Homo-oligomer: A and B are copies of this chain.
């Protein structure tokens, strides 16, 4: 099992530029991505009003901790994070990766406290909304409220998909699947450059996503490399045969509709 992340908080894998500290919602680069649904002008103005500011978390920092009550809900603007749960005897299950456009910390607003932790994998720039103002959103903009539900339901769908992968597939398929899954999501979020992707996870992170030991993860990765459908070194994944990768991982491309973004 993985070492507890809490104990080794500083990884140096900066990716975010950290340039502009405050972007107006209307200038949010996410809005240019057709994967996201468009705001009405009213909604845009409302969101601008609701946003408290931006924050940058350095790579390796914890953003939210299980059991914690956070005053804020975050929308990731830049960078990668992981959601994970620690189990009592030292294991860590990574539930999902969080990419730009993902909302984190909703559990804290809904239940009063987080039921999993979130950690920045690269530097993460995020947009803040106070949790106590979420109610305004529900009152004033049913459409945006529905978007929050959409995001929560999608999170559930992704975790379910990964759970079926972990529970029902042998190591090799699991691994191909997770690369296919992440690569696909990265494409939608426009993080890919052709068939290449800056990929900040370590093998240990993959192990903790798949419920495998580090050693077996490494060996399985070797087998996957041997199929020549992808390469991964020095923080960079290149997919040479996407179709093959999908087939190996039993991955089917989801039919994505325009997703919301808060």
Contacts and interface: CB of A to CB of B under 8 A. Distances in A.
A153 B211 contact: no
Contacts of A106: 149, 153
Interface string A84-97: 01011101110100
Nearest to A88: B250
Interface string A146-165: 10111011111101111111
B85 A160 contact: yes
Of A89, A91, A167, chain B has the most CB atoms within 10 Å of the CB of A167
B250 A167 contact: no
B168 A87 contact: yes
B257 A163 contact: no
Contact of A160 (B139, B148, B159, B208): B159
Chain A binding surface SS class: helix
A159 B149 contact: no
A107 interface: yes
A189 interface: no
A69 to B, nearest CB: 12
Nearest to A67: B255
Contacts of A145: 138, 142, 145-146, 149
B168 A93 contact: yes
Nearest to A139: B142
A161 B38 CA distance: 34
Interface residues of A, number: 50
B110 A164 contact: no
A229 to B, nearest CB: 18
B156 A152 contact: yes
Interface in A246-262: 250, 254, 257
A159 B168 CA distance: 15
A138 B163 CA distance: 30
Contacts of A89: 250
Contact of A167 (B83, B93, B150): B93
Interface stretch (A111-119, A195-203, A218-226, A235-243): A111-119
B250 A149 contact: no
Contacts of A64: none
A10 interface: no
Given A85-B161, A111-B154, A111-B157, A168 B211 contact: yes
11 contacts: A1-B168, A91-B168, A93-B163, A93-B167, A93-B168, A107-B157, A110-B153, A111-B153, A111-B157, A159-B159, A163-B163
